[in-house]
Structure 1
Amino acid sequence: MALRSPELRFAASTGLGALSRPSRLAPSPLAALASPRRRRRGPSPSPSPSPSDSNPSTASAGAEVCVGDADGPEWKKVSAKRFGYKDSMIPDEAWNVLHRLRSRGYDVYLVGGCVRDLIMKKIPKDFDIITTADLRQVKDTFVGSAVIVGRRFPIVHVHDNNSIVEVSSFNTYVRGSSGNQMPTSKSPHCSKNDYLRWKNCQGRDFTINGLMFNPYSEKIYDYLGGIEDIKKAKVRTVIPAATSFHEDCARILRAIRIAARLGFSFPKETAYYVRNLACSVARLDKGRLLMEVNYMLAYGSAEASLRLLWRFGLLEHLLPFQAAYFSSTLFKRKDNGTNMLLVLFSKLDSFLAPNRPCHNSLW
């Protein structure tokens, strides 16, 4: 699901940071938006309109609205042009995978944090791709350059131009979520493809990560109210926070990382369980903890991450020496001031970015 160099993938899997090769994206979102590059739509598998884009719907402020689950938010299809999207914002390696799969008749989407970042005009750290092809079909599409990895949630690593593009399948996700069945849609106006996308999004961690983007139709699919939470600057769990964090305590660390990087806050319920379930992260193995710490500190949001980890009682479990320093200086949990450690991490942040990380030996 992600686009990153083999060195960075190795670093993530071992918990070690790495200096990644420069991103093919423009050095800033504004530069990417100003790029005059040619549109790269790629081959079209069929001239007929996709059934997923031909549902009866109601127009509302530039968005197509379809009522989904009666207890949830409206389903929206929003034009990416509203957020200044340009094809040049997606790197060549991701386009190559999208084009190849689409040329074989499969639906393809960008999904997750990269869609969120594109909406916010930020440079995505990586690009996640999901397709209607199953994993074997994805592997057969890229003979000699693809391998299936993972057990709980298997994905395909596609090697392209010294980078790895990670591709997941709708089929894998649906089978993997059989123990947590979602209710069916109550709306007669939504297609089977809408339901497939919605069901997949229901299994994600946060609403702002549950956005899907078809770069060919330039439509963003929002089934969870993710765009509204981006506007409100909130990191909200898809399912109740207590259930979400009990299912996967690593989501607590991801919540901190996302909030720190984007400058977002938590709704009351999410904040309560981040704080009260903080000790559960100790169940994660050491390698996973090192990887999560590296993600928080190595990409330009170390100071904000350190503040949130201390505020919510997580720093003691991840970086006990740094936590001891905060305690020895009587630094309060909700203190908005600074200290020597925060100043050092702030200086570090000035040299780093999502496409320009550092080695975790610094901490």
Structure 2
Amino acid sequence: MAIPGLGFACRPHVPLRIPLFPCVSKAIPSVNVRQHLVAAFDVVDEPEDVLKVDNDNHKSVSTEGDGKVPEWKKLNSKERGISTSKITRPTRKVLNVLRQKGYQVYLVGGCVRDLVLNRTPKDFDIITSAELKEVRRSFSWCEIVGKRFPICHVHIDDAIVEVSSFSTSASNFKRDLSSSEYGKPIDCEEKDYVRWRNCLQRDFTINGLMFDPYERIVYDYLGGMEDIKRAKVKTVIPPSTSFQEDCARILRAIRIAARLGFRISRETARFVKNLCGSVSGLDRGRLLMEMNYMLAYGSAEASLRLLWKFGLLEILLPIQAAYLVQNGFRRRDKRSNMLLSLFSNMDKLLAPDRPCHSSLCCMKLSPLWTNQA
């Protein structure tokens, strides 16, 4: 099935006769991702102590329950080699302004994961105890965007920093937290409860970390640090529920696994395969954005291999899927070919902080369209 209107996908002229591969019965092995050239990170000129920190050690907090839920952990970021020097200047300015006004501020999501891995984050997301209207009043150029999930775009130093609010996130959170599967301790502090509740809205456990750069604490309520250690992509809630809530998470699982060289957990992989057809319901803009994230940031070859392995390439790039079929390429094939070599060579020049324009990806794919037209 082709996505109507998708800029670089159309119906193949060669029918795809290879059936979808069987259900995943064991954990997906790590993808052999090529090591790419990564530009050295330009450290901002503020010293480390611009973000004042408390270096006291913090002990983990255990949850009540049957032992299956992860511990609540408060980890000393300095002991884990997380440097605040990787935080960009615009992000620092936003953090400092809100902090000086007395609000709680944290870095959340993929940027914390990348800092833990000593990688350069593609961007930084901030969450604060301030209301969005208070955030907007704190900066000369700030706008509230989004209707379903509103956030603030703070324009500073020719960059846009995204800021969300705990209160807005809580009002959009409809999940029943009374179930024991979420592992909420009986006597937890209010601040811990607010942070934990927000982390439950994340897509994957490795994106469910929260970092206070002033106190130098990484809050891990979902076992994200352990999954980073195991190089595993796993949904926060059961994958069947997670992917039905937002099927774009299927594409994000592929993208994260490809970019980091992680494997997708057994249960998550099973539902990536079983529910892959649901991504055809995403709007064209969302699909273009997700495909650009996969192909333009230095992990295009690994992304294409995973899309092919899980049966998503036929949906998103059917011409390229037909090319692999014609060349007898199997789902778990380790060989290369012209398509993969093109993107492998491009990957060597790119990195998350040094992407290419999306038009280059389209240009790379166009020769294959011409050959099969």
CA change 1:210–1:131 in 2 (3 A) is same
CA distance, structure 2, for counterparts of residue 298 and residue 171 of structure 1? 34
Matched, 1:301 2:299: yes
Aligned-partner residue type, residue 143 of structure 2: V
2:126 corresponding residue in structure 1: 129
- Say which SS state the counterpart of residue 148 (structure 1) adopts: strand
Aligned-partner residue type, residue 310 of structure 1: W
Counterpart pick for 1:82 among 57, 63, 79: 79
Let me know the Cα RMSD of the aligned residues.
Answer: 2.4
Stretch of structure 1 that moved more, 236-245 or 75-84: 75-84
Aligned-partner residue type, residue 65 of structure 1: S
CA change 1:267–1:186 in 2 (3 A) is closer
Alpha-carbon offset, residue 38 of structure 1 = 1.5
Counterpart pick for 2:204 among 188, 203, 206: 206
2:22 corresponding residue in structure 1: none
1:154 corresponding residue in structure 2: 150
CA change 1:63–1:340 in 2 (3 A) is farther
1:312 corresponding residue in structure 2: 310
Alpha-carbon offset, residue 94 of structure 1 = 0.3
Q: Is there any run of 5+ residues in structure 1 with no aligned partner, and where?
A: 1-13, 17-25, 55-61
After superposition, residues 141-220 of structure 1 pair within 5 angstroms as 141-142=138-139, 144-177=140-173, 179-183=174-178, 187-188=185-186, 190-220=188-218
- Say which SS state the counterpart of residue 264 (structure 2) adopts: coil
Structure 1 vs Structure 2: percent identity of aligned residues? Answer: 56
CA distance, structure 2, for counterparts of residue 293 and residue 40 of structure 1? 39
Aligned-partner residue type, residue 150 of structure 2: P
CA change 1:111–1:186 in 2 (3 A) is closer
- Say which SS state the counterpart of residue 254 (structure 1) adopts: helix
| TM-score computed with the length of structure 2 as normaliser | 0.82
Q: Deviations over 1:85-111 (max 9, x none)?
A: 222111110000000001111000000
Higher relative contact order (CA 8 A, sep 6+): 2
Aligned residues: 322
Counterpart pick for 2:256 among 245, 258, 261: 258
Q: Deviations over 1:132-154 (max 9, x none)?
A: 01111111111x31000001110
CA distance, structure 1, for counterparts of residue 89 and residue 201 of structure 2? 29
CA distance, structure 2, for counterparts of residue 270 and residue 205 of structure 1? 11
1:282 corresponding residue in structure 2: 280
CA distance, structure 1, for counterparts of residue 133 and residue 159 of structure 2? 20
Q: Deviations over 1:266-302 (max 9, x none)?
A: 1111010001111100000111111100000000000
| TM-score computed with the length of structure 1 as normaliser | 0.84
CA distance, structure 1, for counterparts of residue 285 and residue 152 of structure 2? 22
Whether the 8 Å contact between 1:28 and 1:123 is mirrored in structure 2 is no
Whether the 8 Å contact between 1:83 and 1:121 is mirrored in structure 2 is no
Q: Is there any run of 5+ residues in structure 2 with no aligned partner, and where?
A: 1-5, 9-37, 363-373
- Say which SS state the counterpart of residue 242 (structure 2) adopts: helix
CA change 1:299–1:186 in 2 (3 A) is closer
Whether the 8 Å contact between 1:93 and 1:161 is mirrored in structure 2 is yes
Counterpart pick for 1:73 among 61, 70, 73: 70
CA change 1:172–1:186 in 2 (3 A) is closer
CA distance, structure 2, for counterparts of residue 350 and residue 193 of structure 1? 43
Matched, 1:28 2:40: yes
CA distance, structure 2, for counterparts of residue 15 and residue 110 of structure 1? 34
Counterpart pick for 1:41 among 44, 50, 62: 50
- Say which SS state the counterpart of residue 66 (structure 1) adopts: coil
Whether the 8 Å contact between 1:77 and 1:220 is mirrored in structure 2 is yes
CA distance, structure 1, for counterparts of residue 104 and residue 172 of structure 2? 20
CA distance, structure 2, for counterparts of residue 67 and residue 195 of structure 1? 14
- Say which SS state the counterpart of residue 225 (structure 2) adopts: helix
Aligned-partner residue type, residue 102 of structure 1: R
Aligned-partner residue type, residue 38 of structure 1: P
